[in-house]
Structure 1
């Protein structure tokens, strides 16, 4: 399913879970470039430390608050996926997940 805009501050997309090779046990999905570009334009100059953007996330029935982080190598934001979510939703590296993110503090 392609990426989509759910409402004014929310986005939905499908992405593959991957493990960061620089630090074992850190897992992420990459936000599609077109969504990352839109988030970057919307939050330019208003980000937190390391260029992070606070979000609420839903994958399956799991919901939590975290931050997106810019990845200059991929020229997109990456979203950390904690172990409790990976276990609850039965996802592992290489699996695709349907992700909904909502920007926090931006409207």
Structure 2
């Protein structure tokens, strides 16, 4: 299992204002891309994410406009960790597949 650590600012998706993400860093995105895996919807990759004291299972998605993967950060995580748009988040990702 690959474990990746990075810090990134929380941002709101313009197309759906209720969705928030952090952009996976360039090195971490490259590490995810280099492992061959069967195709999944939208190019997603299953991960276990930890921000602060909150851990959840989700997927990261490739974002061609950013040239990196993005991690959705659900409301319960933002609330538990006191994160608002623009705040930095320390993230640990365990790639599950």
Residue 33 of structure 1 corresponds to 26
Higher RCO structure (Cα 8 Å, ≥6 apart): 2
Matched, 1:67 2:47: no
Q: Which digits, 9 at most, give the CA deviation of each residue in 1:67-96, with x for residues without a partner? A: 000000111000000000000000000000
TM-score (norm 2): 0.95
Residue 89 of structure 1 corresponds to 81
How many residues align structurally? 97
Matched, 1:100 2:88: no
Residue 21 of structure 1 corresponds to 14
